[in-house]
Structure 1
Amino acid sequence: MKILFVHQNFPGQFAHLAPALERRGHTVLALTDERNDRPGPIRTLRYKAPEPVRTDSVLGRSYATHTERGLLAARGARALRDRHGFSPDVILGHTGWGETLFLREIWPDARLLVYAELMYRTRGHDVGFDAEMHPDSDEARFATVARSAHLIQGIVQADAAIAPTRYQADSFPPELRGKITVVHDGIDTARVRPDPGAWLELPGGQRLDCGDEVISFVSRSLEPYRGFHVFMRALPAVLAARPDAQVVIVGGDGISYGSPPRDGKSWKDAMLAELDGRLDLDRVHFTGRLRYPDFLSLIRLARVHCYLSYPFVLSWSLTEAMSAGAYVVASDTAPVREVIADGRNGRLVPFFDVPALSAALIRGLQGDADADRLRTAARQTILDGYDLHRHSLPRQIEWVESLAPMR
């Protein structure tokens, strides 16, 4: 087959699938944003990057932004067709940014498969979940409906879709859910495994080793969607109870989801200001974003790994921490419950219960009698259902090849 991947940040979720299909003898190309400088595992072409959309319509801005990107991706696809004679049998794209919206007009006979990451919903998910940080209102729900338009259009046009978790698949309306197959992106458990000799040197030169009282917290951006504010509020009690504890916080100061604080500063600055004088900052280490090998070292050596999330997309960092045999303290929210059961392979606490989170972190640091069992069970969960080479990748390949058009 001829297969085209479309993703503005390629390889993204297709880092393993694209080269695996190429190894099976298919002709595989990728189309991405010209500003994407990530190295790709296959031959990659680029479309013109969109400029910011200028419109006075707040509700229309989202759709205008995504259709503009879709238009530019389609023009790139047309050049690929007209100048290079490329006509894919299968197109596999991510619906999140509108790139697949017009590709059927370029190649009407190709099978269009999409990655359905999440459908925005006005109730029961992230909207209205945290009234303190993101106040619920009619306007917030109106904006959510508007943000969903391109996602609905993208999956309606598709022949089939794939989602990484059942929670994420179930965020789509029932009339569209039948198109979605659930297959996790997969964790390379041979690489992401426990290592009792793991160590990490922090930016200031301090070395942390397995056996040290270390709490790890990892998020692409430090923001409320990943419970950063709740985690920070739990730390004063933890640091007071455990004088040898070290806290390593990984993540950028920008915004991946949601909105910044009202004063325009970062959530890191906002929380440090709120907790001024209550934290021993010599024991709280902000690393920014870490190189992947350093991230692996951290989750391997940490005595406790904390993961918090709104009802939203499940982070790779949680499943990677579980694969590394982490003792996980996590939020009792729907996407997390899909992989962690309290007392079976981790500890769950209510998202907003700061004292409960502090107590759970302290319990993990001082030595939970069930820690070894929970660590082993966490890794086994990933081995049994999320292993890249045993489960995810074979199922993804089968999904793509089974949906290919008959020649």
Structure 2
Amino acid sequence: MKILFVHQNFPGQFPHLAPALAKRGHEVLALTDEKNQRPSPVKTLRYKSPEPVKTNGVLGRCYSDFAERGLLAARGARAMRDRHGYVPDVIIGHTGWGETLFLQEIWPDAKLLVYAELMYRTKGHDVGFDPEMHPDSDEGRFLTISRSAHLLQGIVQADAALSPTRYQAESFAPELRSKITVIHDGIDTTRVCPNPDAWIQLPDGPRLCAGDEVLSFVSRSLEPYRGFHVFMRALPEVLAARPDAHVVLVGGDDVSYGSAPRDGRSWKDVMLAELGGRLDLDRVHFVGRLPYAHYLSLIQLTRVHCYLTYPFVLSWSLTEALSAGGYVVASDTAPVRELIRDGENGRLVPFFDIPALSAALIHGLSGDHEAPRLRDVARQTILSGYDLHRHSLPRQIEWVESFDPMR
């Protein structure tokens, strides 16, 4: 087949699927934003980056921005068709940025497959979950609905969709779920595995090794959506109870989800100002975003890994921590419960219960006698259902090839 991937940040969710399909003899191309600098595993073409759209009104601005990107992606697709005679059998895209909105007008006979990451909803998910950081309001719910318009349009147009977890698939309306197949992106368990010799040298800090008393927290950005504020508020009690513990926080100072503080500070600055002198900052290490190899060493050596999240998209860092045989203390929220069963392969605590979180972290750092069993079962959880080469990738390939017009 001729297969075209469309993703503004390609390879995005498809770093393994695209080259795997190429190895099976399919002609695989990718169409991406001209400013995307990520290395591509397949031949890549580029469309013009969108300019900021001037639209009156907040509600219409969301759709205008996504539709503008969709228009530019479609123009790039039209050039592929008209100048080079390119006609794909299958298009695989991500609905999140609007790139798939107009592609069927260019190639009406191609099967359109989309990555359905999450549907924004005004109830039962992230909206209204944390009133302190994101107060619920009519206007906020209106904005959520407007942000969902292109996602709905994208999946309605699609022939089929893929979601990485049941929780994410079930965020879509029941009448759309029949289109969605749940297959996780997959974890390379050969690389992401336990390593008793792991170590990491912190910038301007100590050299930490497996066996040291290390508490890790990982998020793309240090922000409330990933429970950064809750974690920080749990630390004074943890540090007081465990005087030899070191805390390593991985993540940027920007915002990936939700909103930034209104006064222009980062959430890290906000929390450090709130906690004042209650933290021993000689043992709390903010390391920013780490190279992948350094991040992997951290989750391999840590004694306790903490993962917190709103009811929202599940992070790869959780599945990788489990694959590394990590002792994980996590929030008892719906996306997490899909992977972690309390007392079986990790520890769950209510998201907002700071004393419970402190107690669970202290218990893990002090040497939970059940830690070896929890770590073993954590690893088996990923091996049994999320392994890239044994489970995820073969199922993804089978799913794509089921749309072969010659079958």
TM-score when normalising by structure 1: 0.99
Deviation per residue, 1:220-250 (Å, 9 max, x gap): 0000000000000000000000000000000
Match in the other structure for 1:13: 13
Match in the other structure for 1:76: 76
SS at match of 1:40: coil
Distance in 2, Cα, partners of 1:290 & 1:83: 42
Match in the other structure for 1:67: 67
Residue 400 (structure 1) aligned with residue 365 (structure 2): no
For residues 256-267 of structure 1, the aligned pairs below 5 Å read 256-267=256-267
For residues 109-258 of structure 1, the aligned pairs below 5 Å read 109-258=109-258
Residue 91 (structure 1) aligned with residue 91 (structure 2): yes
Instruction: Give, in angstroms, the shift of residue 403 of structure 1.
Output: 1.8
Instruction: Give, in angstroms, the shift of residue 205 of structure 1.
Output: 4.5
Q: Structure 2 counterpart of 1:234, which letter?
A: A
**Kept after mapping to 2: 8 A contact 1:93/1:113:** yes
SS at match of 1:113: strand
Instruction: Give, in angstroms, the shift of residue 54 of structure 1.
Output: 1.3
Match in the other structure for 2:378: 378
Deviation per residue, 1:168-219 (Å, 9 max, x gap): 0000000101000000000000010000000000011520001110001000
For residues 292-307 of structure 1, the aligned pairs below 5 Å read 292-307=292-307
Deviation per residue, 1:90-138 (Å, 9 max, x gap): 0000000000000000000000000000000000000000000000011
Distance in 2, Cα, partners of 1:265 & 1:55: 27
SS at match of 1:161: strand
Q: Percent identity?
A: 80
Question: Structure 2 regions of 5+ residues with no counterpart?
Answer: none
Distance in 1, Cα, partners of 2:404 & 2:115: 16
Question: Structure 1 regions of 5+ residues with no counterpart?
Answer: none
Distance in 2, Cα, partners of 1:403 & 1:227: 40
SS at match of 2:83: helix
Distance in 2, Cα, partners of 1:319 & 1:403: 29
Distance in 2, Cα, partners of 1:175 & 1:183: 19
Q: Structure 2 counterpart of 1:75, which letter?
A: R
Distance in 2, Cα, partners of 1:23 & 1:203: 40
Q: Structure 2 counterpart of 1:12, which letter?
A: G
SS at match of 1:204: coil
Instruction: Give, in angstroms, the shift of residue 83 of structure 1.
Output: 1.3
Residue 316 (structure 1) aligned with residue 295 (structure 2): no
Match in the other structure for 1:42: 42
Distance in 2, Cα, partners of 1:110 & 1:80: 14
SS at match of 1:361: helix
Deviation per residue, 1:275-323 (Å, 9 max, x gap): 1111000000001000000000000000000000000000000000000
Distance in 2, Cα, partners of 1:405 & 1:148: 31
Instruction: Give, in angstroms, the shift of residue 264 of structure 1.
Output: 1.4
Instruction: Give, in angstroms, the shift of residue 57 of structure 1.
Output: 1.0
Instruction: Give, in angstroms, the shift of residue 405 of structure 1.
Output: 2.3
Distance in 1, Cα, partners of 2:176 & 2:281: 49
Q: Structure 1 counterpart of 2:67, which letter?
A: T
Tell me the number of residue pairs that the alignment of Structure 1 and Structure 2 aligns. Answer: 407
Match in the other structure for 2:284: 284
**Kept after mapping to 2: 8 A contact 1:110/1:405:** no
SS at match of 2:278: coil
Match in the other structure for 2:342: 342
Instruction: Give, in angstroms, the shift of residue 406 of structure 1.
Output: 3.5
- Alpha-carbon RMSD across the aligned residues, in angstroms, is 0.7
Distance in 1, Cα, partners of 2:53 & 2:332: 38
Stretch moving more, 323-332 or 53-62? 53-62
Distance in 2, Cα, partners of 1:9 & 1:294: 23
Distance in 2, Cα, partners of 1:277 & 1:186: 42
Match in the other structure for 1:4: 4
Q: Structure 2 counterpart of 1:251, which letter?
A: G
Distance in 2, Cα, partners of 1:9 & 1:277: 41
Q: Which runs of 4 or more aligned residues in structure 1 lie more than 3 Å from their structure 2 counterparts after TM superposition?
A: none
Q: Structure 1 counterpart of 2:174, which letter?
A: P
